[in-house]
Amino acid sequence: MPVAMAIPSIASKDLRRLFTFGSGVGIEVGATDLEVVVARVRPSSIQVLGRLTIANFAERPAAEWGAEYAHFLKSAGVSHLSATVLLPRREVIVRQVALVGVASRDTEGAIRFQLDTLHPYGDDEICWGWSPLGYGSVMVGIARRSAVDRYIQLFTEAGIAVSSFTFSAAAVHAAIRVNGGARAHPDGFVAVNRVGGRAVEIYGESPAKPVFSAEFETAPERAAVLALSELRLPPDTAPQKLEELLPKPAVNPVENDLSRNALPYATALAGACPRLAPAANVLPAEHRRFNSRAAFVPAAVLAALVLLMAGAMMAYSSYSQRQYLRQIGVQIQKLDPLARRAAALDRQIAETRVRAELLDRFRYQTRNDLDALKELTRLIEPPAWTNSIDLQNNVVRITGEAPQAAPLLKILDSSPYFENSAFEMTNRSPSGSGEIFQIRSNRKRRP
């Protein structure tokens, strides 16, 4: 199903907030209750106008709780708004489809071409919708037509105008992009949301997987670890609460606890700005009702803004660049003394470290020399003797006499103090009783 037309690409990201204008009603279909949130989105702030819980809706006459819903919208001053309904997770199958290289105008056709491979419903009639994810991928939601028709009949009997049936992954994905919040997490994130009992819903994004959404019957910490693995994010990535990722409302009633009502709030935001952050809609087009008086305001505003921006963008770009360079220059002037001081401190630290290492080497050299001399005294036993030992940092030269000089090389190399021993000179003793030798041996580095 086609998604709402996105904002024209000519619009600068710096002006994105100018298009965050609208109001939305989000309805989460729970096991027994309906959670309703009304949100108003403006460029400067977001306001939650009200929250309502419709208890036991499935066991009550639709007209009864429909009147309760209508009274709530009237008290919030938004009776004209159509609702965006968040279907239960079990009713919708969510798939991510990679369409790299497919033109935007051909996206729906490409999805339709492989639609039969994306669900297990066989020949059963289905309803489906999609929304873009970036990275050349789209998110597709698929539901049985019988399940969708059941909810259509339910809300029709209640007299509730509905513009969209969506699902949690699409609603959250759209909501966090209402004010550009996704740009604050370019490397990805994992968010945790409790949905009752031990159930934990995980939502995450990463460059490797544009969207991950799943529900776990386990501890939040364990669920977060599984999500990090699926998203290929570093294991030390700290999970966040879902309400922390959603745009923070400037006005929020006390009864609207976002830690427990994050999903209906996200659904309301997705419904408030469908052109700015589209969410997949599985409601068939013939059943969509758009009662908002502001439905055509964005088109009129865009037409005027495009004309204005065409002349203003060039001037704005030049002006913003000059302002940016001026601010950078001011900051450089402020920080330059600190930078020079930091560089001087770095040099002083490096010099001090070199001096400390040199002192440590001198301190340990005498002890190492004494240990080496003691080792030589042990290794060269009578009747062998030495008349000269030249100890240097890395080398020792030993001059002396022994009955047989050759075994001394092996004896020295077996020591933990010496290695690679070799003769520099060997001669027969003038007395003929032994051999005069000069041995050069490398000293092993000691800790």
Task: Output the CA angle 404-406-410, nearest 5 degrees.
Answer: 125
Contact assessment for residue 297 and residue 182, using Cβ atoms and an 8 Å cutoff = no
Task: Output the CA angle 144-270-211, nearest 5 degrees.
Answer: 70
Instruction: Pick the closest to residue 163 from 23, 348, 343 (CA basis).
Output: 23
The 10 Å Cβ neighbour count of residue 268 is 31
How many residues belong to the chain? Answer: 447
Instruction: Pick the closest to residue 24 from 308, 268, 227, 350 (CA basis).
Output: 268
Instruction: Pick the closest to residue 27 from 162, 200, 147, 170 (CA basis).
Output: 162
User: Which pLDDT belongs to residue 17?
Assistant: 63
Do 399 and 259 lie in one domain? The reply is no
Do 135 and 273 lie in one domain? The reply is yes
Q: Does 135 have pLDDT greater than 90?
A: no
User: Which pLDDT belongs to residue 182?
Assistant: 58
User: Which pLDDT belongs to residue 180?
Assistant: 65
By the 10 Å C-beta count (0-12 exposed, 13-18 middle, 19+ buried), 100 is classed as exposed
Q: What whole-number distance in Å separates Cα of residue 176 and Cα of residue 182?
A: 6
Q: Does 94 have pLDDT greater than 90?
A: yes
Maximum alpha-carbon separation in the chain: 127
The CATH number given to whatever domain includes residue 417 is 3.30.1360
Cα distances (Å, whole numbers) of residue 338 to 333, 342, 343:
10, 6, 9
151-161: average pLDDT: 94
User: Which pLDDT belongs to residue 183?
Assistant: 62
Joined together, the tokens standing for residue 203 give 């939502």
User: Which pLDDT belongs to residue 300?
Assistant: 73
pLDDT tens digits along 123-132: 899 999 999 9
Q: What whole-number distance in Å separates Cα of residue 284 and Cα of residue 264?
A: 21
User: Which pLDDT belongs to residue 11?
Assistant: 43
Joined together, the tokens standing for residue 337 give 């003394």
Which pTM does this prediction carry?
0.63
User: Which pLDDT belongs to residue 4?
Assistant: 40
Is 226 a member of any domain? no
63-72: average pLDDT: 94
pLDDT tens digits along 378-412: 888 888 888 888 888 889 999 988 888 888 888 88
Q: Which amino acid is at 88?
A: P
The CATH number given to whatever domain includes residue 41 is 3.30.420.380
Query: DSSP letter string over 119-183?
Result: -S-TTS-EEEEEEEEETTEEEEEEEEHHHHHHHHHHHHHTT--EEEEE-HHHHHHHHTTTTTGGG
By the 10 Å C-beta count (0-12 exposed, 13-18 middle, 19+ buried), 84 is classed as buried
User: Which pLDDT belongs to residue 8?
Assistant: 43
Is 326 a member of any domain? no
pLDDT tens digits along 193-235: 877 667 889 999 988 888 999 888 888 889 899 999 999 999 8
Domain end, chosen from 277, 295, 313, is at 295
29-38, 290-299, 397-406: least confident range: 290-299
Q: What whole-number distance in Å separates Cα of residue 149 and Cα of residue 384?
A: 106
Domain end, chosen from 260, 295, 330, is at 295
> Which stretch, 64-73, 217-226, 433-442, has highest mean pLDDT?
64-73
pLDDT tens digits along 410-430: 888 888 888 888 988 888 888
For residue 425, give its domain range: 376-443
User: Which pLDDT belongs to residue 7?
Assistant: 42
Q: What whole-number distance in Å separates Cα of residue 275 and Cα of residue 105?
A: 16
Domain end, chosen from 295, 324, 355, is at 295
**What value does the mean pLDDT of the chain take?**
85
Main-chain phi, psi angles of 360, to 5 degrees: -60, -40
pLDDT tens digits along 312-321: 878 877 888 8
Q: Does 151 have pLDDT greater than 80?
A: yes
Do 279 and 397 lie in one domain? The reply is no
Contact assessment for residue 204 and residue 159, using Cβ atoms and an 8 Å cutoff = no
Is 333 a member of any domain? no
Residue 19: its H or E element: none
Do 160 and 275 lie in one domain? The reply is yes
Is 411 a member of any domain? yes
> Which stretch, 18-32, 143-157, 293-307, has highest mean pLDDT?
143-157
User: Which pLDDT belongs to residue 9?
Assistant: 41
Q: Does 54 have pLDDT greater than 90?
A: yes
54-58, 289-293, 381-385, 435-439: least confident range: 289-293
Is 318 a member of any domain? no
Is 71 a member of any domain? yes
CA dihedral 403, 409, 413, 414 (to 10 degrees): -40
Joined together, the tokens standing for residue 70 give 């209508």
The total number of structural domains that make up the chain: 2
144-148, 187-191, 256-260: least confident range: 256-260
> Which residues pair with residue 418 across a beta bridge?
443
Is 96 a member of any domain? yes
Confidence of residue 184 (pLDDT cuts 50, 70, 90): low
Which DSSP symbol is given to 91?
Answer: G
Is 381 a member of any domain? yes
